[in-house]
Amino acid sequence: MSDVFPPPPPGEGQGEGATVAELQRLTIRQLAQTLPPREARLEAQLLLAHALKVDRVWLIAHDTDPLTPAQLDACNALIARRLVGEPIAYLLGEREFYGRRFQVTPAVLIPRPETELLVDLALERLPADAPARVLDLGTGSGCLALTLALERPLAQVTAVDASADALAVARENAHHLQVANVALIESDWFAVLEGGAGCNPPGRMNPAPQRRAFDLIVANPPYVAAADPHLAQGDVRFEPLSALAAGADGLDDLRRIIAAAPAHLAPGGGLLLEHGWDQGEAVPALLYAAGFIDVECVPDLAGQPRVSLGRMPE
């Protein structure tokens, strides 16, 4: 988005005495310089409602209300941040995923609609009427782990992330979504699980390593090539690079996960991985090489290769 923040025309917009409707009109005009009109309108309403701590219906009912200087300042500060390109999800502090609201901060990747495919594929493999042990690697906001835990209350979900700041966000989400069947653990991929302790309830150490513990492992790891120009565009510029970029070909983390996963899967256990549109051959090849069977790559709604999966032999 443009980093120009033009002064308001006289008598309208951000100036003293502006009404809700005037500020909204000006905000739409500014956002529409880089967004389609419909999106500009929606974002303007969301930003104003957020800054004023009201809902969008209030904006309509109060359109002739003059804004106080403090209200104008709050609105203008948020609008200015959006105009320099900060993602709307970070400004509002939330994003919807699989029908639920997840809190997000710049410590976590913003949940993407295409990742809902990973949820659908995982749910197909998790019976609703039986317990299962599920691991989510690099959980970020917790959108995958918490969605699976809520959709499958009998499952015991373990979610790890290497970032303590990300885990704090996931914890917040587990709390407000009232998820009881999840354990959130700080770990660089499988590191903390190597001794098996991560699979136990907190405070109960198991002296015998519990490898091959999981029925299903899911991950939306970083998979963008480090030099991909896409990393310097749009929302992505404000997201944690550690959640996006993975070496020269974007496969560094996928390779590590695929190599280590078999030791953590129960016989017949599945591995489901999100990846880039151009990794639909490389990831299945890595899965075969690691001993997975029934390997397939599933396209997203846009028809792009998006999730590859396989399972361990029985």
Contact positions vs ligand GLN (CB under 6 A): 112, 220, 222-224, 236, 244
* Residue 156 or 220 with smaller CB distance to ligand GLN: 220
> What does the alpha-carbon distance between residue 80 and residue 166 come to, in Å, rounded to a whole number?
26
Name the minimum Å distance from CB 119 to ligand GLN.
14
Torsion of CA 186, 167, 217, 235, to 10 degrees: -130
Q: Are the C-beta atoms of residues 134 and 215 closer than 8 Å to each other?
A: yes
φ and ψ of 231, to 5 deg: -70, -20
* Residue 214 or 223 with smaller CB distance to ligand GLN: 223
Tokens of 138: 């690099």
Name the minimum Å distance from CB 223 to ligand GLN.
5
Q: Are the C-beta atoms of residues 80 and 30 closer than 8 Å to each other?
A: no
Would you list the DSSP string of 24-43? HHHHHHHHTTTS-HHHHHHH
Structural element, H or E, at residue 182: strand 182-186
Name the minimum Å distance from CB 67 to ligand GLN.
36
* Residue 216 or 245 with smaller CB distance to ligand GLN: 245
Name the minimum Å distance from CB 220 to ligand GLN.
5
φ and ψ of 243, to 5 deg: -95, -5
φ and ψ of 296, to 5 deg: -145, 160
Name the minimum Å distance from CB 244 to ligand GLN.
5
- Separation in Å, CA 121 to CA 24, 116, 161, 184: 41, 9, 22, 22
Name the minimum Å distance from CB 264 to ligand GLN.
20
* Residue 78 or 251 with smaller CB distance to ligand GLN: 251
Distant-in-sequence, close-in-space partners of 256: CB < 8 Å, separation ≥ 6: 189
Name the minimum Å distance from CB 45 to ligand GLN.
26
> What does the alpha-carbon distance between residue 94 and residue 143 come to, in Å, rounded to a whole number?
11
